[in-house]
């Protein structure tokens, strides 16, 4: 049985947090809201609790998880070295949607790092997440609260649709603001490398922290630098197509008798009758905030095909395009 407890997303107080912290301290699993997506939390220093996260998600053991902290002091305990560039990014963007990869300390269990010598750390900018970590009094390992390779959750209902019965508790603090996963930056290399694009762009890293980071995605044939950067990820069950000629594609699929959802921009032609029309915002951040909710909606409608109008290219759209291309990879 998975219990759900409501929490005030702005001023989370009292019993629900205490209960959730107890579950974590006993080695249980709690899903909680962050500003990016819902996380599935466990005591980061308990190998058994973290193993239960991998089992609940069906996540391969080769994919390390992010450790969430509420205090800069935890960083020193969890890392053996904290590069200057990591400190500069953390001071600028934490709490916030940036994950920093640095050499780990002995306090971090192998299962958290998938056996690697680095650990990924983040301080989330969500009152519920911060209050929960503080109430538990320990760092919390938390990947996204979805089954492995499926769509990430941005509401408590999304979490339950994939993990009901597999986890102890969901803290329902409403919808997540950013809507896509954090930017992951490897600070062990010079220059630092963006392993996963996210809400904080390379331009913002430069403008706000004076840090020049390069795209760290693997060259073809090389193992991915970030083990989680598997090609197909964040994927709906329906066949998903991202295209510039979406209107024609939607008509084509409908003409062949398939049920279709169309993630379209308001400026485009109306969807044909029978197609599920989901209008997307023109602003990249607003688009990211609703993307997974729209994909969950299409999945709940059990359509066979999801056609997505390709957003413009350009730096603001890097993270959204990354998620769309992974969702559409067969
Ligand atoms: P998730 O929390 O499910 O959004 O996934 C966490 C992401 O962070 C995955 O892409 C992981 O591969 C990445 N990650 C976690 N730990 C590390 C690490 N030590 N080194 C590189 N990438 C990591
Ligand atoms: Mg994930």
Cα of 104 to ligand 1 centre, how many Å?
Answer: 14
Cα separation, 249 vs 221, in Å, equals 32
How would you class 39 by CB atoms within 10 Å of its CB: exposed for 0-12, middle for 13-18, buried for 19 or more?
buried
Cα of 228 to ligand 1 centre, how many Å?
Answer: 5
Cα separation, 63 vs 15, in Å, equals 34
* Three-state SS at 79: strand
Q: Which ligand is nearest to the CA of 218?
A: 1
Cα separation, 118 vs 66, in Å, equals 11
Give 171's strand partners.
5
What are the chain's domains?
A: 3-215 (3.90.870.10), 239-328 (no CATH)
Protein residue closest via CA to atom 19 of ligand 1: 119
Q: How confident is the model at residue 229, as a pLDDT?
A: 55
Ligand 1 near 46 CB (within 6 A): no
* Burial profile 222-242: b = 16 or more Cβ within 10 angstroms, e = fewer: eeebbbbbbeebbbbebebbb
Q: Which ligand is nearest to the CA of 115?
A: 1
Task: State which H helix or E strand residue 25 sits in.
Answer: helix 15-25
Q: How confident is the model at residue 223, as a pLDDT?
A: 40
- The Cα-based distances of 10 to 119, 184, 313 in angstroms read 29, 26, 34
Selection from 228, 71, 187 nearest residue 140 by Cα: 71
Q: How confident is the model at residue 219, as a pLDDT?
A: 39
* Three-state SS at 270: coil
How would you class 55 by CB atoms within 10 Å of its CB: exposed for 0-12, middle for 13-18, buried for 19 or more?
exposed
CB 172 within 8 A of CB 5: yes
CB 158 within 8 A of CB 18: no
Task: State which H helix or E strand residue 292 sits in.
Answer: helix 284-300
Cα of 181 to ligand 2 centre, how many Å?
Answer: 7
Ligand 1 near 39 CB (within 6 A): no
Ligand 1 near 146 CB (within 6 A): no
Q: What is the pLDDT along the chain (330 residues), one digit of tens a residue?
A: 999 999 999 988 889 999 999 999 999 999 999 999 999 999 999 999 999 999 999 999 999 999 999 999 999 999 999 999 999 999 999 999 999 999 999 999 999 999 999 999 999 999 999 999 999 999 999 999 999 999 999 999 999 999 999 999 999 999 999 999 999 999 999 999 999 999 999 999 999 999 999 998 543 333 445 555 555 566 778 999 999 999 999 999 999 999 999 999 999 999 999 999 999 999 999 999 999 999 999 999 999 999 999 999 888 999 999 999 999 986
Ligand 1 near 195 CB (within 6 A): yes
Protein residue closest via CA to atom 10 of ligand 1: 228
Nearest ligand 1 atom, CA 184: 8
Cα of 257 to ligand 2 centre, how many Å?
Answer: 33
* Three-state SS at 52: helix
Query: What pTM does this model have?
Result: 0.94
Ligand 1 near 59 CB (within 6 A): no
CB 179 within 8 A of CB 288: yes
Cα of 13 to ligand 2 centre, how many Å?
Answer: 28
CB within 8 A of 295, min separation 6: which ones? 151, 236, 263, 306, 327
Nearest ligand 1 atom, CA 119: 19
Q: How confident is the model at residue 218, as a pLDDT?
A: 45
């Amino acid at each position: 049985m998975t219990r759900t407890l409501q929490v005030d997303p702005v001023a989370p107080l009292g019993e629900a947090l205490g209960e959730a912290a107890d579950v974590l301290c006993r080695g249980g699993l709690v899903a909680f809201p962050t500003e990016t997506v819902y996380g599935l939390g466990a005591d980061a220093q308990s190998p058994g609790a973290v193993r239960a996260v991998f089992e609940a998600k069906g996540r391969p053991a080769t994919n390390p998880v992010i450790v969430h902290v509420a205090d800069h002091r935890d960083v020193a305990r969890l890392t053996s070295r904290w590069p200057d560039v990591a400190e500069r990014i953390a001071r600028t963007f934490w709490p916030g949607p940036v994950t920093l990869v640095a050499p780990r300390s002995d306090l971090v269990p192998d299962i958290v790092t998938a056996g690697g010598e680095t650990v990924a750390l983040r301080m989330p900018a969500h009152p519920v997440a911060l209050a929960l970590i503080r109430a538990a009094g320990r760092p919390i390992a938390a990947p996204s609260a979805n089954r492995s390779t499926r769509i990430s959750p941005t509401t408590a209902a999304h979490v339950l649709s994939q993990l009901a019965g597999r986890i102890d508790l969901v803290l329902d603090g409403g919808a997540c603001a950013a809507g896509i996963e954090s930017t992951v930056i490897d600070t062990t290399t010079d220059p630092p490398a963006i392993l996963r694009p996210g809400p904080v762009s390379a331009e913002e890293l430069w403008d706000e922290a004076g840090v020049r980071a390069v795209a760290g995605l693997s060259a073809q044939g090389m193992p991915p630098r970030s083990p989680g950067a598997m090609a197909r990820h964040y994927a709906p069950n329906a066949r998903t197509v991202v295209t510039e000629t979406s209107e024609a594609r939607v008509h084509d699929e409908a003409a062949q008798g398939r049920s279709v959802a169309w993630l379209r921009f308001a400026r485009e032609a109306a969807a044909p009758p029978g197609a599920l029309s989901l209008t997307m915002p023109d602003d990249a951040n607003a688009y990211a905030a609703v993307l997974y909710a729209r994909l969950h909606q299409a999945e709940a409608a059990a359509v066979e095909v999801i056609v997505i109008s390709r957003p413009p290219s350009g730096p603001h759209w890097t993270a959204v395009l990354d998620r769309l291309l992974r969702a559409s990879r067969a």
